[in-house]
Structure 1
Amino acid sequence: MSERNPYGLDVSTANVARIYDYMLGGKDNFAADREAAEQILKAFPESREGVRLNREFLGNAVRYLAAEAGIRQFVDVGAGLPTQKNVHQIAHEVDPEARTVYVDNDPIVCVHGRALLAGAPTVAMVEGDLRAPEEIWARVTGTGLIDPEEPVGVLMVALLHFLDDPYAEVAKLREMLAPGSFLVVTHLSMAERRAGDTDAVKRVYSRASSGVVPRTVEEIKMFFGDFEILDNGVFISPSALERMAILGWGGVGRKH
């Protein structure tokens, strides 16, 4: 991306979506984003692989939901910028008619995302904040792509650790999903042996567009409520899961 100021972007403050893009090897980032990413990599050299494993988990989960569970509609909350192997692209490998709605709370990310997704009739991007779940759901269903009476795959991938206490909001969104729906979550975890490194990462994000709140695996699992959490081995290899564990945890839950 040019260092000029497209779409009125603040290019001087690191943005979590663009840091993620840089970690994935994308080009939709600026000098401030790259500097922040390099500071994170200094504290956690595993971060770049962790981001890629996170993306691998997302892809495997979407592929499973589309191919094995018969899900044909997806909502990606906190989607950030469309990057390599997006949710809709993976779902389309199974069914070209599968529908996807991306949600992000950054209006500039939404403008840029809509430009990147222009011309895709089964895909939409809406502005919304998880802290207002009813509003998100109204905007998602308002696209006409998501049928609230049918099962849906909802993704909150690398999102919830940017919010202080989102348990009630996630619970409200879970309530609105039809039986047979799925929730996919990945989250930055907290390991005592790397507490100092985690604090360094928190300091980097405190100067970016959002702070970060790592949680224990048990605290992350609480986001699923009474959903049945599926076996992680379905979505990522045991060795990859072990490498990912120092940085984060991911899970997929089904609503009965």
Structure 2
Amino acid sequence: MTEDANDDVMEQLSRIDTSVAHPARVFDYWLGGKDHYAADRETGEQILQVMPELAIIARAEREFLARVVRHLVVEEGVRQFLDIGTGIPSADNTHEVAQAAAPEARIVYVDNDPIVLAHARALLRGTDEGLTTYIDADLRDPETILEHAAKALDFTQPVGLMLLGVVEFVPDDEQAYTVVAELMRALPSGSYLTVASSVSSPAMDRAAAIWNDSGATPITIRTIEQLMEFYKGMELVEPGMVSLPKWRPEPTTQYRGQEVSQYGAVGRKS
């Protein structure tokens, strides 16, 4: 790593607030990673006490992402991805899956957590043929995202917009729908929207209450019907909006066919 790059990483790490839980770090804890702090572990354990399924959901979401990206690259010919709410790098990141099938694929990651950005810059390396880059931005600021993404992606060609585990952190429904609609308006016909989000259930609602009481970024749990609002005017790829392990499972898919309180879908912009 160059001296300038190292200084950049240190600057990012200096912004980390370790006193409250952060979704990316709690998610990393549930996945068995090492990039979390006491507040993340404490909140993560409290939530698992009322909903042990969340550890399964964390793994199911990573597998869902890989299956979606493979499908879009191999079956739909997509070569560009805008992944917002990247999270701490783990196995089968978007660029790894996409570029394994199409080395020329271009991926733009977006996140606003300094530890995510520090790891992304240090660890995520794409192919020479393709491109992998990162934007420090928030989903609620689509103008900034689009301005910077346009420097790396060709908005005249289809883009896969990936929103996994992030729309929950836009608490206002109208704002959430507006932000996603604005992002999709900037993308051409033949682009795809992927949303994965927790859905309301008694256990999930209790888990969300613990999360919100922790002082972390508030979370809003929506119903399946509310999630479908993100896809207005789009054609859903089969099998539609389903529990994550049920979306085009592969032979190696864990929890194959299992019902979990995390749903997802892929929609095509006509």
The normalised TM-score by structure 2 is 0.84
8 Å contact 1:15–1:208 — kept in the other structure? no
Q: Secondary structure at the match of 1:13?
A: coil
Q: Which residue of 1 aligns with 2:198?
A: 188
- Aligned pair partner of 1:7 in 10, 13, 31: 13
- Aligned pair partner of 1:94 in 80, 86, 101: 101
Provide the aligned length of Structure 1 versus Structure 2: 245
Once the two structures are superposed, residues 1-42 of structure 1 have per-residue CA deviations (whole angstroms, 9 ceiling, x without a partner) of xxxx98222222111100011111111112221111111111
Q: Does 1:77 align with 2:84?
A: yes
Q: Which residue of 1 aligns with 2:58?
A: 51
Q: Post-superposition shift, 1:171?
A: 0.8
Q: Does 1:124 align with 2:133?
A: yes
Name whichever of 200-209 and 159-168 sits farther off: 200-209
Go from structure 1 to structure 2 and tell me whether the alpha carbon gap of 1:62 and 1:224 turns closer, same or farther (over 3 Å shift).
same
Q: Secondary structure at the match of 2:157?
A: coil
Name whichever of 204-213 and 28-37 sits farther off: 204-213
Alignment map for 1:218-233 (pairs within 5 Å): 218-232=225-239
Superposed CA RMSD in Å reads 2.2
Alignment map for 1:1-256 (pairs within 5 Å): 7-8=13-14, 9-117=16-124, 122-142=131-151, 144=152, 146-165=153-172, 166-191=176-201, 194=202, 198-232=205-239, 235-236=248-249, 240-244=256-260, 247-256=261-270
Q: Post-superposition shift, 1:113?
A: 2.0
Once the two structures are superposed, residues 100-146 of structure 1 have per-residue CA deviations (whole angstroms, 9 ceiling, x without a partner) of 1100123443233212225766211101112121221111112x2x1
8 Å contact 1:78–1:103 — kept in the other structure? yes
Q: Secondary structure at the match of 2:65?
A: helix
8 Å contact 2:99–2:127 — kept in the other structure? no
Go from structure 1 to structure 2 and tell me whether the alpha carbon gap of 1:107 and 1:30 turns closer, same or farther (over 3 Å shift).
closer
Question: What is the distance in 2 between the residues matched to 1:125 and 1:205?
Answer: 28
Once the two structures are superposed, residues 41-94 of structure 1 have per-residue CA deviations (whole angstroms, 9 ceiling, x without a partner) of 111011111111111111100010011101111110111222121000111120
- Residue identity in the other structure for 2:147: A
Percent of aligned positions with the same letter in both sequences?
A: 39
Q: Secondary structure at the match of 2:140?
A: coil
8 Å contact 2:12–2:115 — kept in the other structure? no
Once the two structures are superposed, residues 201-255 of structure 1 have per-residue CA deviations (whole angstroms, 9 ceiling, x without a partner) of 32224425311111110100101121111113553379745422xx221000001
Question: What is the distance in 2 between the residues matched to 1:242 and 1:215?
Answer: 20
Once the two structures are superposed, residues 157-212 of structure 1 have per-residue CA deviations (whole angstroms, 9 ceiling, x without a partner) of 01101111211111111111111000110011002xx25x5234322244253111
The normalised TM-score by structure 1 is 0.88
